[in-house]
Amino acid sequence: MADHWNKVSLLGTLTILICFTAVNGTSSETCSDFQSFSWTSILRKSELNVQFLLLTRRNVDCAQVINDENDIENSNFNGSLPTKLIIHGFRLTGKKPSWIDSMAKELINAMDVNVVLVDWNIGAVASYFNAVKILDKLGEKISILLQLFVLQGSTKESFHLIGISLGAHVAGVVGRMFDGKFGRITGLDPAGPKFSNTGVDKRLDPDDAMFVEAIHSDSDNFGISQPVGHIDFYLNDGKKQPGCTQTLLYSVYKRVICDHMRAVYLYISSIKNRCPLVAFPCQTYEQFTNGKCVNCFFHSLQQCPRIGLLENGSLQALLQPREVKAFLMTSSHVPFCVNHFLVELFLGDVGTYNQHVEVIFLNNNYANTSKLKLSIPNKSSKNRTVKTVMSYDPSRGNIMAIFIKLLSTWYRKTHAIYIEKLRMTEIPLNSSERSFRCIYNMTLYKNLFQQFVNCQ
């Protein structure tokens, strides 16, 4: 019976391969593509059906299958170049991951590298828990491939595994098989279910490579919330991504995985390195937004980490960091970068109850650019400064002025607030050369328009 199914599915796979094979007219080279899921393959359940596809600068659009030594020798694989493997995660639909070609292209554009797509589509489909079960086997297959690369002259340090969701833990499995001796692992929203709070032998962890980084974007849902790398980047609060709650997103499926996929799209965008995605090491997102982590000197770090291909995430540290969380705010669209500003209010007389103000920031054309709502503590609070970190889209121009409003409530009248100073500066604040901009002496009982001046 099993034999019968094998034949049927082999036939299916062959047919699909032929259908997907395009012949390049000039060189008559055969291009390969992802295996397609078929209903017969699902009946084989846990059978692993992995395929490795190679893309290089010599074949950007035409993947070569490199499943064994012979394939590798006859391919464009170059052991003198670094090698990047992309490992996808669980596939609900069994379709080829839509983003995988553009990730490969950006990598090849950015560097002369061998890019290997690990196609385990057929094993990854349909049942998440089944997919989880085959990770070790898949890891073994990948490490056999990497051993073959070593025979072709590759160094272990030149391997970089980019794992998405479940793929991040697969990268961890492979890293462990190499005793953490290879170069880098990037986990893109490493999967959470079945991995949260498990031992390090079950999931991605900092001992799996010389440099392990993760980007978290859906840590309350499909992603893992705990740090798993040397550096763990959390986009916004690591849970809810801007633009993902819009009802405009046309399909339910897209809406459900929007937060999870943000790590992937942001990483693809970061490869181009069009703008710096600098993150702030901090214990929690709340501490970060409350202005407690405005410079980059955290533990032994000498610089803020950055998302992208930079060596070691551009980290410079006296001691190797471990499971350090770093936060950054993002916009809702490519290239996702924002500037971060620290806004501080130094309060004078504030009244007997807590109130709120709204600050609208205006650019040089006096257009509204961004908005903050701040809580002003009452007289009995010893706290006379209010600090917050604001994200700002630099394409909106320089901030020149504010429009500030005391928000009233229907049940009581507002009490005037005296603000001695409103100060703002771009962060990271690790150099003394940062310029602060200030507004002094505001008595706020209704709306005020004020322009920034240089701080005294």
CA 416 to the chain's CA centroid: 44
Handedness of CA 164, 262, 219, 130 (dihedral sign): negative
Least gap, CB of 428 to ligand NAG (angstroms): 4
b/e string for 73-103 if b means 16 or more Cβ within 10 A?
eebbbbbebbbbbbbbbbbeebebbebbbeb
Tell me whether residue 123 or residue 163 sits nearer to ligand NAG (CB atom): 163
Q: What does the alpha-carbon distance between residue 53 and residue 347 come to, in Å, rounded to a whole number? A: 61
4 is catalytic: no
CA 4 to chain centre: 44
The one catalytic residue in 32, 260, 269, 270 is: 260
Binding segment for ligand NAG (CB under 6 A), chosen from 113-121, 193-201, 376-384, 409-417, is 376-384
Q: Is 155 in the site for ligand NAG (CB under 6 A)?
A: no
Contact region with ligand NAG (CB under 6 A), list: 128-136, 217-225, 353-361, 393-401? 353-361
Candidates 119, 189, 208, 218; catalytic one: 189
| Binding to ligand NAG in span 93-112, by CB under 6 A | 112
Using rule CB under 6 A, residue 290 touches ligand NAG: yes
Q: Which two tokens stand for residue 295?
A: 């410079």
Q: Binding pattern to ligand NAG, positions 209-228, x when CB under 6 A?
A: -xx-----------------
Piece in contact with ligand NAG (CB under 6 A), picked from 94-102, 118-126, 139-147, 349-357: 349-357
Is 260 annotated in the active site? Answer: yes
Q: How far is the CB of 288 from ligand NAG (least distance, A)?
A: 11
Q: How far apart are CA 129 and CA 136, in angstroms?
A: 13
In the block, tokens 């035409």 appear at 62
Q: Judged by CB under 6 A, which of 70, 247, 251, 383 binds ligand NAG?
A: 383
Least separation, in Å, of the C-beta of 73 and ligand NAG? 12
Quick one: 126 or 390, whose CB is closer to ligand NAG?
390
In three-state form (DSSP H/G/I as H, E/B as E, the rest C), the secondary structure along the chain is CHHHHHHHHHHHHHHHHHHHCEECCCCCCEEECCCCCCHHHHHCCCCCCCEEEEEECCEEEEEEECCCHHHHHCCCCCCCCCEEEEECCCECCCCCCCCHHHHHHHHHHHCCCEEEEEECHHHHECCHHHHHHCHHHHHHHHHHHHHHHHHCCCCHHHEEEEEECHHHHHHHHHHHHCCCCCCEEEEECCECCCCCCCCCCCCCCHHHCCEEEEEECCCCCCECCCCCCCEEEEECCCCCCCCCCCCCCCCHHHHHHHHHHHHHHHHHHHHHCCCCCECEECCCHHHHHCCCCCCCCCCCECCCCECCCCHHHHCCECCCCCCEEEEECCCCCCCCCCEEEEEEEEECCCCCCCEEEEEEEEECCCCEEEEEEEEECCCCCCCCEEEEEEEECHHHCCEEEEEEEEECECCECCCCEEEEEEEEEEECCCCCCCCCEEEEEEEECCCEEEECEECC
- Looking at 139-147, 192-200, 258-266, 378-386, which segment touches ligand NAG (CB under 6 A)? 378-386
Indicate whether 414 belongs to the interface with ligand NAG (CB under 6 A): no
Q: Is 81 in the site for ligand NAG (CB under 6 A)?
A: yes
Residue 289 binds ligand NAG (CB under 6 A): no
Q: How far is the CB of 427 from ligand NAG (least distance, A)?
A: 9
Query: Does position 296 bind ligand NAG by CB under 6 A?
Result: yes
CB of 118 to ligand NAG, least distance (A): 22
- Closest CB 315 distance from ligand NAG, rounded Å: 6
Instruction: Give whichever of 50 and 342 is closer to ligand NAG, judged by the CB atom.
Output: 342
Least distance from C-beta 277 to ligand NAG, angstroms? 11
Tokens 């040089």 sit on residue: 364
User: Considering the rule CB under 6 A, would residue 320 count as an interface residue with ligand NAG?
Assistant: yes
Asked whether position 395 contacts ligand NAG by CB under 6 A, the answer is no
- Phi and psi dihedrals of 448, rounded to 5? -135, 145
Please select the residue that binds ligand NAG; options are 5, 20, 99, 353, rule is CB under 6 A: 353
Q: Is 165 annotated as catalytic?
A: yes
Task: By CB under 6 A, name the one of 15, 74, 147, 368 that touches ligand NAG.
Answer: 368
392 binds ligand NAG (CB under 6 A): no
Q: Is 78 in the site for ligand NAG (CB under 6 A)?
A: yes
With contacts defined by CB under 6 A, name the span among 67-75, 114-122, 296-304, 324-332 that binds ligand NAG.
296-304
The one-letter amino acid code at 290 reads N
Q: Is 80 in the site for ligand NAG (CB under 6 A)?
A: yes
Applying CB under 6 A, among 303, 331, 414, 425 the residue interacting with ligand NAG is 303
Q: Name the residues that contact ligand NAG, by CB under 6 A.
A: 24-27, 78, 80-81, 112, 210-211, 230, 278, 290, 296, 303-304, 312, 315, 320, 352-354, 360, 367-368, 377-378, 380-381, 383, 385-387, 403, 428, 430-431, 440-441
Query: Which are the catalytic amino acids?
Result: 165, 189, 260
